[in-house]
A and B are shown apart, each in its own frame.
Chain A
């Protein structure tokens, strides 16, 4: 980048540690005055080598490792990993376990979106919004804690089911939290719609058209904000999403404002899914009957084969490609995180904007560098 520098240009490095960023990565900006002329991302500051670690751990140990891909959405990562192994083993969890998984994954989606909204508002200088969002998130994390016994890394899913049943009083507590959350979401929306400074920082900033977004390969709220109704829960239903009624939230503007609006609407939709689940959840066993796989899975060998399983992460499409050679460890696991292509699409989006908008655009992606680096 340096060789092409003209006399009135300069380079600034945002990061690797910068308050604007969701994790460490380095953003090199070539500036002409205040305008970004060129941008370049350097990754690898929290590369954990998870794909290599998984090759050397048994399948059961792998569950605790995939938690660490992105601590915010640990349960969705587990769902993807466990889903792969279940497809290879050709087992299916019973209905009650599927509902419990959906409940926990939708709670995960709500808390991830709440943190995403709060962080984004903080990046553009609306610090009290972060406090409002984190207060609500705390209640939701408390619900997950109540079931799994952990706040961020749960190791809760097992092959063919879940580790524990829902505790007593979970339904009543969840419904009361969700009712409080509904009012708060309306408040948030009203704040976002009426705050003049917030609107000036977001409306028309970082606009992505549907064609450009498809070409860049992004997914999740960033894509849905451009009007493409792409959601793995609808396109390729897993668990019990086929039986549940929900709609895919889209906006048409494709700017930062629309991305936050999609997240707010998705929280509402998740609350609706949760209410249905709590109503419909059947009684029954947590693991398939007459099966080897239970709460205490024995040492297991997985039949040789390969599988690609996709789930809908709060940030978009999460996929895992698993190759098994018949031993007790996976031969190869490739993790396709949703934030990886979104982060890749950041430089083309910020070229031509001003430095002040970089924080706004980058924040509206709701990133997790931990997952991009793995």
Chain B
């Protein structure tokens, strides 16, 4: 499937939710997605455009812009195109719809993004820390203003 066709189909179906769709190369494309429309866009990608493989979900903290981006990389088992979808959230109380009901394996990625950035995924079946201990919750260690390791964890050990 051709990458320009994919983007054309996507922007045609969601003219409001999808913006700044760019073709980067033959196998890479990117677009910004509205944070309320993520689930519908993913459902459409999976059902109609053969994007049946979620590579990864991650967060990126842009502290200068006071924003956090949630980045979805969605690929396919049939064609080599990888689509990068980005949703922009505010740094205070970021919330976005969970896509576990569409892509089953986003479960752990969303839990990890939650514990590292504090992004709440609404309607997630089991939103609790995955790789960090419970008492690290609220530290959001991958945010750029995280003060570093000893500020909480080491104190409890002494």
Interface residues in chain A, defined as those with a beta carbon under 8 Å from any beta carbon in chain B: 43-44, 47, 49, 51-52, 214-217, 219, 228, 230, 235-236, 308, 310, 317, 319, 321, 323, 331-332, 334, 336, 340-341, 344-345, 373-374
Q: Are A334 and B107 in contact (CB under 8 A)?
A: no
7 contacts between A and B (CB under 8 A): A44-B132, A52-B142, A236-B80, A308-B82, A319-B73, A334-B58, A334-B71
Q: Are A43 and B142 in contact (CB under 8 A)?
A: no
Residues of A contacting B77 with CB < 8 Å? Answer: 214, 228, 230
Q: How far is the CB of B120 from chain A (nearest CB, A)?
A: 19
Stretch at the interface among B9-17, B37-45, B49-57, B89-97: B49-57
Q: How far is the CB of A218 from chain B (nearest CB, A)?
A: 8
Total A-B contacts with CB atoms under 8 angstroms apart = 65
Q: Which of B58, B82, B132 contacts A310 (CB 8 A)?
A: B82
Q: Are B56 and A217 in contact (CB under 8 A)?
A: no
Q: Are B132 and A344 in contact (CB under 8 A)?
A: no
- B49-82 contacts to A (CB < 8 Å): 52-56, 58, 60-61, 71, 73, 77, 80, 82
Q: How far is the CB of B131 from chain A (nearest CB, A)?
A: 4
Q: Is B133 at the interface (CB under 8 A from chain A)?
A: yes
A interface majority secondary structure: mixed
Q: How far is the CB of A158 from chain B (nearest CB, A)?
A: 24
In the assembly, what is the distance between CA of A124 and CA of B27, in Å?
Answer: 42
In the assembly, what is the distance between CA of A331 and CA of B82, in Å?
Answer: 21
In the assembly, what is the distance between CA of A321 and CA of B69, in Å?
Answer: 13
Residues of A contacting B58 with CB < 8 Å? Answer: 321, 332, 334
Q: Is B32 at the interface (CB under 8 A from chain A)?
A: no
Q: Are A216 and B104 in contact (CB under 8 A)?
A: yes
Least CB separation from B86: chain A residue: A306
Residues of B contacting A47 with CB < 8 Å? Answer: 131-132
Q: Which of A215, A236, A340 contacts B104 (CB 8 A)?
A: A215
Whether A341 contacts B105 in the complex (CB less than 8 A), given A43-B131, A44-B131, A319-B55, comes out as yes
Per CB-CB distance, the 8 closest pairs between chain A and chain B, nearest first, are A217-B105, A44-B131, A334-B58, A336-B56, A235-B80, A236-B80, A47-B131, A341-B105
Q: How far is the CB of B24 from chain A (nearest CB, A)?
A: 9
Q: Which of B104, B133, B141 contacts A217 (CB 8 A)?
A: B104
Least CB separation from A319: chain B residue: B55
In the assembly, what is the distance between CA of A230 and CA of B107, in Å?
Answer: 22
Starting from the known contacts A214-B53, A310-B82, A321-B56, 18 additional A-B residue pairs (CB-CB under 8 Å) come to A43-B130, A44-B129, A44-B130, A44-B133, A52-B142, A214-B77, A216-B105, A217-B53, A308-B55, A308-B73, A323-B60, A334-B71, A336-B73, A340-B108, A341-B105, A345-B105, A373-B131, A374-B131
Residues of B contacting A236 with CB < 8 Å? Answer: 27, 80
